[in-house]
Amino acid sequence: MQQISPLELADWLADKSRGQPVLLDVREPWEYELCHVAESIHLPMQQVPSRLAELDPDRDVVVICHHGMRSMQVGLFLEHSGFSAIYNLVGGVEGWARDVEPNMNRY
């Protein structure tokens, strides 16, 4: 699993010539409702194993949580499940709000 900073992810998303990743937000529903990265897919951590078939193992997947710990656990699970291009958003949505989208709600 690779680590990606909020600024690196922002650059990737801005580069439309580059294939866009799946942004997988694994936080709880209340967290996602409060704030999330645009275009992210909400799939709470505990639902990932039962809903794995909804994800494409051949796509780049950036896993997002609040600070980067839950997303790292989900990323490792995805890798062990055959996904080949997993990125953990370092600092999570908190880092995104701090470095990329300062007007985003924070908690």
Which residues have a catalytic role annotated? Answer: 65
Q: Where are the alpha helices (DSSP H) in 19-91?
A: 29-34, 69-80
- Distance in angstroms (rounded) separating the CA atoms of residues 27 and 91: 13
Write the CA distances from 18 to 35, 66, 73, 98, integer angstroms.
Answer: 26, 26, 26, 25
